[in-house]
């Protein structure tokens, strides 16, 4: 099939590459000429396992093209996917200006039937605005061209986007037109062989489903972090509690790991947007607001423990930091807990020696060169000359370090573990002072 994707960011590029890899002809339109040039060289401007090879292969074989020419894109695809950014406004609302600009562009340039698909994460009611924008552009031209609007939210996890797209848990299609639903089914048929994963519903329910999914996952994380804080106060071990409640199939083990807060491009933005949507409809979403508040507090937990450990005086101290990305297998640092920790340490007069397997370039892009930040070539190098170690991202390579070497490198054999990677009693036997989340601190 012929497909056009507006936007070559994370969602747009993964969508374009996976559709092309299934044999479709895909044109990806972006206003950023530099990005188009980069992608046309087969280079992916962000880290996502396996994506670079799929992009390169399908570009070389002619199934995937990149352009800044919107007219070419509208002319090409029966399916016109809108996958542009929806950045949060100051009030938490999703900014739809880029989505509606694309809708207007499609309306101005289309000459025959098109299916306009919102792939971007958008609030309930956006499809109506997209429909109106296309209609207004057609009326301005004096044209009457048939089109349909579809909501098709993405459910991609950063670090696992390719398998999420090609072997999805569900394919949500929001449309009121049975014919359009069948065309969308045909489009997704290559990813729907094993059993029927397509869930067809009305447009507004589809739009809410995406926000509801992310809000539910964020709620589970914040709930466990709240419980972790209670566990510390009453002398319980949150990891034992996690196993105890996770064995209940009604709860399960997914997303009940305590830590130092969630980040990324989805959970923080989507929870805020859903709170705003609820408020606009006249409902106070108190639980969702609490989820956000708990998460913001949790991001400061490691800093507060480091400051307390040093008696409130951090000036002149150096903290080794393992992990900069908001989660493993991505270089995304949006809303990352590492940023809250680093900025708090700098404000208190401390220095940071940091390492992350893939997010170092992103850190340089955000913070530039500064005297109180050293980006190191390895996890071991980050600990050279540091007073203590803090762990923010649970990369696999951090799970089994050389503790003997670590104890010699650090001025104080002390670890602040924001992801509960280690056994407190083991660290105690090895001579470390060990702080984790939802468990009692241990010391030799």
What are the residue numbers of the active site?
266
Query: Could you give the CA distance from residue 405 to residue 403 in angstroms, rounded to a whole number?
Result: 5
Q: Which two tokens stand for residue 185?
A: 């089914």
Query: Could you give the CA distance from residue 161 to residue 51 in angstroms, rounded to a whole number?
Result: 9
The answer to whether residues 274 and 213 touch, using CB atoms and an 8 Å cutoff, is no
Query: Could you give the CA distance from residue 81 to residue 11 in angstroms, rounded to a whole number?
Result: 11
Cα angle 107-108-113, degrees, rounded to a multiple of 5 = 45
Query: Could you give the CA distance from residue 326 to residue 368 in angstroms, rounded to a whole number?
Result: 19
Query: Could you give the CA distance from residue 169 to residue 213 in angstroms, rounded to a whole number?
Result: 12
Which of 242, 249, 197 is CA-nearest to residue 223?
A: 242
Q: Residue 332 carries which DSSP code?
A: -
Three-state DSSP at 134 gives helix
Q: Residue 87 carries which DSSP code?
A: -
What do you get for the CA distance between the two ends of the chain, in Å? Answer: 65
- CA distances to 120, 336, 352 from 332, in Å: 18, 8, 19
- CA distances to 55, 129, 258, 324, 420 from 328, in Å: 22, 36, 16, 9, 15
Q: Residue 442 carries which DSSP code?
A: B
Query: Could you give the CA distance from residue 351 to residue 337 in angstroms, rounded to a whole number?
Result: 17
Question: CA quadruple 372, 377, 378, 383: dihedral positive or negative?
Answer: negative
DSSP per residue over 90-113, as a string? TTS-B--HHHHHHHHHHHHH--S-
What interhelical angle do 33-40 and 51-60 show, nearest 10?
80
């Amino acid at each position: 099939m012929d497909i056009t994707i507006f936007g070559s960011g994370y969602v747009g590029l993964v969508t374009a590459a996976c559709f092309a890899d299934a044999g479709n002809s895909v044109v990806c339109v972006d206003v950023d000429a530099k990005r188009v040039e980069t992608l046309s060289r087969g280079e992916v401007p962000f880290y996502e396992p396996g994506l670079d090879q799929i992009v390169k292969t399908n570009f070389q074989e002619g199934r995937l093209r990149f352009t800044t020419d919107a007219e070419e894109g509208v002319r090409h695809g029966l399916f016109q996917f809108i996958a542009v950014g929806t950045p949060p406004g100051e009030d938490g609302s999703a900014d739809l200006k880029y989505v509606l600009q694309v809708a207007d562009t499609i309306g101005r340039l289309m000459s025959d039937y098109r299916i306009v698909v919102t792939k971007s994460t958008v609030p309930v009611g956006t499809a109506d605005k997209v429909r109106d924008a296309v209609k207004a552009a057609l009326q301005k031209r004096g044209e009457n061209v048939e089109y349909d609007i579809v909501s098709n939210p993405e459910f991609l996890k950063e670090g696992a986007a390719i398998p999420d797209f090609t072997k999805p848990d569900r394919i949500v299609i929001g449309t009121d037109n049975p014919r359009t639903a069948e065309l969308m089914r045909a489009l997704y048929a290559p990813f729907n062989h094993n059993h029927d994963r397509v869930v067809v519903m009305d447009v507004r329910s589809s739009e809410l489903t995406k926000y509801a999914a992310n809000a539910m996952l964020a709620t589970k994380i914040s709930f466990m972090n709240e419980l972790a804080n209670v566990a510390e106060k009453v002398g319980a071990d949150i990891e034992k509690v996690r196993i105890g409640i996770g064995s209940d199939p009604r709860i399960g083990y997914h997303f009940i790991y305590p830590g130092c807060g969630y980040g990324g491009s989805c959970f923080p933005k989507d929870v805020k947007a859903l709170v705003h949507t609820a408020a606009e409809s006249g409902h106070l979403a108190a639980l969702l607001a609490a989820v956000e508040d708990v998460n913001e507090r949790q991001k400061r937990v490691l800093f507060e423990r480091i400051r307390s450990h040093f008696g409130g005086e951090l000036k002149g101290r150096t903290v080794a930091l393992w992990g900069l990305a908001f989660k493993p297998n991505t270089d995304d640092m949006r809303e990352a807990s590492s940023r809250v920790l680093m900025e708090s340490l700098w404000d208190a007069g401390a220095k940071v020696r940091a390492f992350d397997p893939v997010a170092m370039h992103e850190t340089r892009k955000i913070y530039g060169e500064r005297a109180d930040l050293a980006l190191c070539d390895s996890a071991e190098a980050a600990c050279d000359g540091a007073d203590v170690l803090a762990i923010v991202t649970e990369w696999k390579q951090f799970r089994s370090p050389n503790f003997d070497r670590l104890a010699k490198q650090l001025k104080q054999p002390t670890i602040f573990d924001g992801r509960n990677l280690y056994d407190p009693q083991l660290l105690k036997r090895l001579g470390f002072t060990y702080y984790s989340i939802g468990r009692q601190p241990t010391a030799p």
